[in-house]
């Protein structure tokens, strides 16, 4: 090189310096052991943190580098003359990474202290790339290592099939998975080795891979001899098929087990749901945080939600009002803490459906094996109706109390052993006893002793179920000892709650009515007494009169007083007899009204009785111009009161002659099984239909009284007597054609019973 | 009047003066020995008298103070022989009359014919 230099003129120092200055490489000269800059080009100046560098020592310019050992390396070059090949020197203490490379050499010009020349280039960009490269190499290396480890651990088997479905490659792993030897497989056609693979999922996927050119993944069960679940990836390549496969039997089995477990669980849930939903109640489960785990269908219907909507939700989230939500959470906490069931009742309105109800609920702890609460089971019952019924009952009880208290009649509940259980104000007023005295039951019975026996007997009948109620007029004894007449109506009732029986007594004060009745009875008694006394009083002088007249008539006949006297005496006697008859009627009326008629039944031949009666009428019939036709069954016998039968026949015959207008009168007597029928038929004026019932009433005539006379008592008395004998009487008549009176009497015409007569 | 002739007499017991006197009069008119008593006590006294030969008693059932029935019971107690009885009655039940051993009864106002029949049956006609 030196030789070549000599061939050319030497460049001037200014030229050299200018060239140095324009270099992209940073160049500096440092002199002396203190390493003071004697030269630095522009590039060096740009890179230096302190300017100008010339005149400054290295340490002054690059303090951090000097400290980091660069100064020492430079001094070593200076002292030893060994160049420093700077390879990617990273400048320390820079805000950005800064890399340099270059040379540091010693120059020693004669007469000058030894210097070093630094020639360095900024290689920061390259160095960063290189560093990244190194890092990525490292990552790659690590990835490779991992890949290798993975590959080493991989359980896939690999086979390759050619166009003819022959095995060309069979990995060891593949042979092992398939429980075959590689030699058996290599060169063989897959369908020969595994005949059952035809039509299998493998067949399908392999053909699809070949036909589409797309890799196919599938899994399927490989039947014996494999008995495996395999997951296969088929990669078609140039008509060949590479198949990677792995044994997933275990995974499949655990999946299946899991599926079965889930199915079992779901079946149990369905079963539980089915059972829980058959009840009309709500059934639900809470977890320990008060979130629903389950709700039966009935509850879901009310909520208007599906089970999936509610699982994991709190009552609040399902639209429960905050207070109810809080209440439930408190109760759940209580169940968890106490491990005991908690009961409650609350109104609830479902947000979605608007269904409202009052529910009675119970939260029950479900304990786990360790005895702690695992979940909380709840049931709720709709008690709205019951509540309404209870309300209605309360209202009706209030109403009843009101009615009971405010009614004007006395009311009481009495136990079956005669204790007052409840009495109202009116009863106290009627009896004169205070409520306390009555309810204290220390008074004993306040029923009049004369009435107690009947009251007791009737109440026993009621208790025995022989009657459903009874009414009784009886007397209570007031505190002052005076009796008060009451009408007591008694029914038996059953206490719904206990089933115990008690009497309900309604007590009416009838003292006023009773007094009126007594006055009326007294008036009637006075009247009847009057009738009776008057009758008797009239009868006695009449009897005397008749005796005298009859005796006189007899004497007149005997002593021949003459026809005129006899005739007048006869007529006087007849008038007396008619008067007697009327008096007897009045007496009969009073006896019948007083119920004092006593029948005297005897064994009779009815025909004889009728003949006797008819004989008495022969004279008057002849006078009236009436023929008496008799059709009498003389064999008929009966047990009856002779006088009363005579009276009936006499009355009817007398009427027939009276109203018979001189036409024949028929008297018929016939037997009909247990009864006899007496018919008295006239052909006289007859009785209009509207009168036919009235003639049997007291003081009734079918015709004007003046023309025919009499009290109009005859038919009434006849009817009363007939009925007293257990018989019936009726009339059949056509006006102007006559009347037929029919009397039907039982053969045993004894007095059937003593009954009220009208 | 003719009690001593052995034909015996008819006793009429009735507290009603008119009836009693009328009946006694009628019987006497017919020739019977008849005597009237207005009450049970005097009738009892007469019947105790053995000298009086009473053949028939016409007895009113309804008397006061001693009724016909009570008179019969008093006679029984006094151990007095009771002549045949015919009872005057307005309405007294026949079974009661049977109990006192009456031979018949006459319904007031006394039917004359029956009265004559009873008198003739138990008393020798004069």
Its ipTM equals: 0.70
**Distance of residue B50 Cα from the nearest chain A Cα, in angstroms:** 31
Q: Which of A547, A554, A555 sits opposite B109 (nearest CB)?
A: A547
For residue range B42-69, list pLDDT tens digits in order. 999 998 887 788 899 999 888 878 888 8
Dist CA A748 CA A745 (whole Å): 8
Per-residue pLDDT, A250? 80
Dist CA A180 CA A198 (whole Å): 19
**Distance of residue A583 Cα from the nearest chain B Cα, in angstroms:** 11
**A-B contacts at Cβ under 8 angstroms:** 48
Dist CA A642 CA A8 (whole Å): 201
Q: Which of A531, A548, A550, A615 to probe the B interface (max B CBs under 10 A)?
A: A550
A149 touching B, CB under 8 A?
no
Q: Tell me the mean pLDDT in the region A733-740.
A: 90
Residues above pLDDT 70, as percent of chain A: 93
Least confident of A67-76, A183-192, A448-457, A536-545: A536-545
Per-residue pLDDT, A32? 86
- Is the peptide bond preceding residue B109 cis, with omega within 30 degrees of 0? yes
Higher local confidence (pLDDT), A371 or B6: A371
Higher local confidence (pLDDT), A622 or B92: A622
B109 touching A, CB under 8 A?
yes
Chain B residue whose CA is closest to A554: B112
Instruction: With CA atoms as reference, report the closest residue to A295 among A314, A273, A274.
Output: A273
**Distance of residue A554 Cα from the nearest chain B Cα, in angstroms:** 10
Partnered with residue A745 across adjacent β-strands are A676
Which of chain A's residues have a Cβ under 8 Å away from the Cβ of B94? 600
A533 touching B, CB under 8 A?
no
Q: Which of B90, B93, B109 sits opposite A546 (nearest CB)?
A: B109
Dist CA A292 CA A295 (whole Å): 7
Q: Which of B16, B22, B108 sits opposite A548 (nearest CB)?
A: B22
Dist CA A310 CA A313 (whole Å): 5
Per-residue pLDDT, A667? 93
- What residues 512-531 of chain A have any CB closer than 8 A to a CB of chain B? none
Instruction: With CA atoms as reference, report the closest residue to A376 among A346, A405, A336.
Output: A336
Burial of A85 (0-12, 13-18, 19+ CB in 10 A): exposed
Confidence of residue A145 (pLDDT cuts 50, 70, 90): low
B98 touching A, CB under 8 A?
no
Per-residue pLDDT, A155? 67
For residue range A176-187, list pLDDT tens digits in order. 888 888 888 888
Which of chain B's residues have a Cβ under 8 Å away from the Cβ of A550? 112
Confidence of residue A599 (pLDDT cuts 50, 70, 90): confident
Cβ–Cβ below 8 Å for A580 and B109: yes
Name residue, tokens 């009002």: A321
Q: Tell me the mean pLDDT in the region A77-86.
A: 89
DSSP designation for A200: S
Instruction: With CA atoms as reference, report the closest residue to A52 among A35, A26, A60.
Output: A60
Burial of A559 (0-12, 13-18, 19+ CB in 10 A): exposed
Which of chain B's residues have a Cβ under 8 Å away from the Cβ of A590? none
**Distance of residue A679 Cα from the nearest chain B Cα, in angstroms:** 28
Asked if residue A395 lies in contact with residue A378, where contact means CB atoms within 8 angstroms, the answer is: no
B74 touching A, CB under 8 A?
no
Per-residue pLDDT, B96? 66
Partnered with residue A245 across adjacent β-strands are A157, A232
pLDDT at A756 over 60: no
**Distance of residue B46 Cα from the nearest chain A Cα, in angstroms:** 25
**Distance of residue B112 Cα from the nearest chain A Cα, in angstroms:** 7
DSSP designation for A372: S
Q: Which long-range contacts (CB under 8 A, 24 or more apart) does B87-94 make?
A: B87/B59, B87/B60, B87/B61, B88/B14, B88/B19, B88/B58, B88/B59, B88/B60, B88/B61, B89/B60, B89/B61, B89/B62, B90/A536, B90/A539, B90/A587, B90/B61, B90/B62, B91/A587, B91/A591, B92/B61, B92/B62, B93/A598, B93/A600, B94/A600
Cβ–Cβ below 8 Å for B23 and A587: no
Chain B residue whose CA is closest to A550: B112
Residues above pLDDT 90, as percent of chain A: 13
Per-residue pLDDT, B6? 46
Least confident of A316-320, A526-530, B22-26: A526-530
Q: Tell me the mean pLDDT in the region A542-567.
A: 82
For residue range A97-137, list pLDDT tens digits in order. 888 888 888 887 777 778 898 888 888 888 887 777 777 77
Cα angle, residue A177 at apex, residues A174 and A183 outer, rounded to 5°? 50
Dist CA A462 CA A465 (whole Å): 5
Q: Tell me the mean pLDDT in the region A397-422.
A: 81
pLDDT at A536 over 80: no
pLDDT at A685 over 60: yes
Partnered with residue A217 across adjacent β-strands are A233
Q: Which residues contact A104 (CB under 8 A, 6 or more apart)?
A: A73, A74, A77, A83, A84, A86, A116, A117, A118, A119
């Amino acid at each position: 090189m030196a030789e070549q230099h000599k061939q050319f003129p030497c460049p001037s120092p200014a030229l050299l310096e200018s060239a140095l200055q324009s270099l992209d490489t940073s160049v500096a000269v440092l002199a002396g052991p203190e390493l003071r800059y004697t030269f630095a080009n522009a590039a060096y100046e740009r890179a230096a943190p302190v300017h100008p560098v010339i005149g400054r020592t290295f340490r002054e310019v690059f303090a951090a580098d000097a400290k980091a050992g660069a100064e020492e390396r430079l001094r070593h070059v200076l002292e030893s003359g060994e160049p420093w090949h700077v390879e990617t020197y990273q400048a320390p203490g820079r805000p950005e990474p800064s890399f340099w490379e270059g040379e540091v050499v010693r120059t020693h010009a004669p007469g000058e202290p030894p210097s070093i020349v630094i020639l360095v280039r900024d290689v920061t960009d390259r160095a960063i790339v290189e560093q990244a490269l190194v890092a990525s190499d490292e990552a790659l290396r690590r990835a490779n290592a991992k890949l290798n480890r993975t590959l080493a651990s991989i359980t896939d088997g690999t086979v390759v099939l050619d166009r003819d479905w022959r095995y060309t490659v069979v990995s060891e792993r593949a042979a092992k998975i398939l429980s075959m030897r590689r030699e058996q497989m290599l060169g063989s056609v897959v369908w020969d080795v595994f005949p059952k693979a035809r039509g299998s999922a493998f067949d399908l996927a392999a053909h699809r891979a070949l036909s589409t050119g797309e890799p196919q993944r599938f899994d399927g069960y490989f039947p014996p001899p494999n008995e495996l679940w395999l997951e296969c990836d088929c990669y078609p390549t140039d008509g060949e098929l590479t198949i990677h496969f792995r044994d997933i039997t275990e995974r499949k089995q655990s999946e299946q087990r899991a599926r079965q477990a889930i199915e079992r669980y779901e079946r149990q849930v369905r079963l539980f749901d089915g059972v829980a939903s058959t009840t009309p109640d709500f059934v639900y489960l809470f977890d320990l945080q008060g979130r629903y785990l389950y709700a039966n269908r009935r509850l879901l219907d009310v909520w208007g939600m599906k089970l999936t909507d509610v699982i994991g939700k709190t009552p609040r989230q399902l639209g429960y009002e905050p207070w109810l939500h809080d209440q439930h959470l408190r109760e759940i906490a209580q169940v968890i803490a106490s491990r005991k069931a908690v009961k409650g009742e609350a109104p609830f309105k479902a947000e979605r459906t608007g269904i409202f109800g009052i529910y009675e609920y119970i939260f029950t702890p479900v304990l786990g094996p360790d005895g702690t609460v695992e979940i909380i089971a709840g049931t709720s019952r709709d008690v709205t109706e019951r509540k309404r019924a209870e309300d209605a009952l309360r209202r009706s009880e209030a109403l009843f109390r009101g009615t009971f208290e405010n009614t004007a009649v006395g009311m009481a509940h009495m136990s079956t052993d005669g204790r007052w259980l409840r009495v109202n104000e009116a009863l106290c007023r009627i009896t004169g006893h205070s409520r306390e005295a009555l309810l204290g039951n220390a008074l004993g019975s306040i029923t009049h002793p004369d009435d107690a026996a009947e009251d007791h007997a009737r109440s026993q009948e009621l208790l025995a179920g022989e009657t459903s109620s009874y009414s009784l007029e009886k007397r209570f004894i007031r505190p002052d000892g005076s009796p008060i007449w009451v009408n007591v109506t008694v029914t038996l009732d059953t206490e719904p709650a206990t089933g115990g029986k008690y009497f309900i007594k309604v007590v009416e004060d009838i003292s006023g009515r009773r007094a009126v009745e007594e006055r009326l009875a007294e008036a009637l008694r006075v009247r009847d007494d009057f009738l009776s006394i008057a009758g008797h009083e009239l009868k006695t002088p009449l009897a005397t009169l008749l005796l005298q007249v009859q005796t006189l008539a007899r004497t007149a006949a005997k002593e021949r007083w003459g026809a005129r006297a006899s005739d007048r005496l006869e007529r006087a006697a007849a008038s007396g007899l008619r008067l007697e008859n009327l008096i007897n009627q009045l007496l009969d009326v009073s006896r019948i009204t007083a119920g004092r008629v006593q029948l005297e039944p005897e064994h009779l031949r009815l025909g004889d009785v009728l003949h006797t009666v008819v004989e008495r009428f022969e004279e008057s019939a002849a006078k009236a111009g009436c023929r008496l036709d008799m059709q009498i069954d003389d064999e008929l016998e009966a047990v009856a009161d002779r006088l009363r039968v005579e009276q009936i026949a006499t009355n009817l015959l007398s009427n027939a002659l009276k109203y018979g207008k001189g036409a024949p009168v028929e008297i018929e007597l016939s037997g009909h099984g247990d009864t006899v029928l007496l018919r008295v038929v006239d052909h006289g004026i007859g009785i209009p239909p509207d009168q036919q019932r009235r003639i049997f009433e007291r003081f009734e005539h079918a015709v004007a009284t003046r023309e025919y006379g009499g009290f109009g008592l005859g038919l009434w008395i006849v009817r009363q007597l007939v009925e007293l004998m257990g018989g019936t009487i009726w009339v059949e008549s056509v006006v102007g054609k006559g009347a037929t009176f029919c009397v039907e009497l039982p053969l045993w015409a004894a007095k059937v019973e003593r009954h009220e007569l009208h | 009047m003719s009690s001593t002739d052995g034909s015996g007499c008819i006793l009429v017991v009735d507290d009603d003066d008119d009836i009693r006197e009328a009946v006694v009069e009628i019987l006497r008119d017919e020739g019977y020995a008849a005597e009237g008593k207005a009450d049970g006590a005097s009738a009892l006294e007469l019947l105790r008298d053995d000298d009086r030969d009473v053949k028939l008693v016409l007895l009113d059932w309804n008397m006061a103070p001693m009724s016909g029935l009570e008179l019969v019971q008093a006679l029984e107690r006094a151990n007095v022989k009771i002549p045949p009885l015919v009872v005057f009655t307005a309405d007294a039940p026949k079974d009661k009359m049977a109990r006192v051993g009456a031979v018949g009864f006459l319904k007031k106002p006394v039917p004359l014919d029956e009265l004559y029949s009873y008198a003739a049956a138990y008393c020798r006609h004069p």
